[in-house]
């Protein structure tokens, strides 16, 4: 008819499912498919991310990494966020590897909740049992406030969150007796300055701290916005000015932070 015939179509038998083996058992799986191209690149990228995740876990004991964190220059926070977003499409062996490293890598609650829980667990190991009925007197204000909030929300928390709280001494009975944490103004200021120092040690300055910045569970941005406002109105105490200037001389510059 004027044109060369193309290759013959594959036999129909090749498109049908393989028959079951005698006895009704499913057929043995074929040899593992060799990874090529994009699949090979994706597996190598996962292996690299998993290695960084293991290093972080060995140092911190969890994988509740803030999204913006880049330990050792690797965007681990973003990698984990991407992994959580595609967990339903993730190959089973990859999900199993992350679960084996840290069972709560994709918990049904926020990474901030998980980080703060680890902070509370570390506190109990260092300072002994919590005291909900006394307003958590041995904790920092922010941690005590967070623990009291969990007690007030205890009945509505995820069952596994309640189980984790029970591990640090807060069961339903203890939660019912909890009292709010009382603020000590001097201790609160020292805590805020400690977070400012920690943030500067990690990022090199305080310029990136916006009103919404939360550092290791502490609302550093909200606190620093208040200090900047007082500085601009010339009502900030000289001691506080010196403390903040020693952390970052440009903590409140006379130009736009950006």
Task: Tell me if 66 sits within 8 A of 116, measured CB to CB.
Answer: no
> How many beta carbons lie within 10 A of that of residue 116, not counting itself?
21
Q: How confident is the model at residue 8 (pLDDT cuts 50, 70, 90)?
A: low
pTM of the model: 0.59
**What percent of the chain is modeled with pLDDT above 70?**
84
> For 127-175, what is each residue's pLDDT tens digit?
999 999 999 999 988 899 999 999 999 999 999 999 999 999 999 999 9
User: What's 198's DSSP letter?
Assistant: H
Cα separations in angstroms, 4 against 1, 11, 71: 8, 20, 61
3-class secondary-structure state, position 215: strand
Q: Please tell me the distance from the alpha carbon of residue 84 to that of residue 32, in angstroms, as a whole number.
A: 26
| pLDDT for residue 223 is more than 70 | yes
- How far, in Å, CA of 114 to CA of 233, rounded? 38
d(CA 220, CA 212): 8
Tokens of 110: 């926020």
pLDDT digits (tens, 9 = 90+) for 90-119: 999 999 999 999 999 999 999 999 999 999
Structure tokens at 237: 């105490």
Query: In angstroms, how far apart are the furthest CA atoms of the chain?
Result: 96
Nearest alpha carbon to residue 155 among 144, 171, 177: 171
């Amino acid at each position: 008819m004027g044109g060369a015939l193309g290759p013959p179509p594959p036999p129909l038998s090749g498109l049908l499912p393989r028959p079951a083996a005698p006895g009704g058992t499913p057929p043995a799986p074929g040899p593992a498919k060799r990874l090529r191209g994009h699949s090979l690149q994706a597996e190598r990228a996962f292996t690299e991310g998993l290695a960084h995740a293991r290093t972080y876990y060995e140092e911190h004991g969890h994988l509740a990494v803030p999204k913006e964190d880049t330990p050792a220059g690797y965007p681990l926070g973003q990698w984990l966020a991407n992994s959580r977003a595609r967990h339903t499409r993730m190959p089973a062996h990859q999900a199993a590897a992350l679960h084996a490293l840290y069972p709560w890598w994709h918990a049904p609650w926020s990474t901030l909740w998980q980080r703060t829980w680890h902070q509370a667990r570390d506190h109990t190991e260092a300072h002994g049992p919590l005291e909900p009925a006394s307003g958590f007197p041995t904790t920092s204000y922010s941690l005590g406030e967070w623990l009291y909030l969990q007690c007030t929300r205890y009945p509505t928390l995820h069952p596994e969150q309640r189980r984790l709280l029970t591990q640090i001494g807060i069961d339903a009975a203890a939660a019912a007796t909890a009292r709010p944490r009382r603020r000590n103004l001097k201790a609160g200021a020292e805590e805020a300055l400690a977070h400012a120092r920690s943030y500067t040690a990690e990022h090199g300055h305080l310029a990136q701290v916006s009103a919404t910045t939360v550092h290791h569970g502490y609302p550093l941005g909200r606190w620093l916005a208040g200090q900047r406002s007082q500085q601009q109105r010339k009502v900030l105490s000289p001691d506080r000015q010196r403390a903040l200037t020693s952390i970052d001389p440009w903590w409140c510059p006379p130009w736009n932070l950006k």
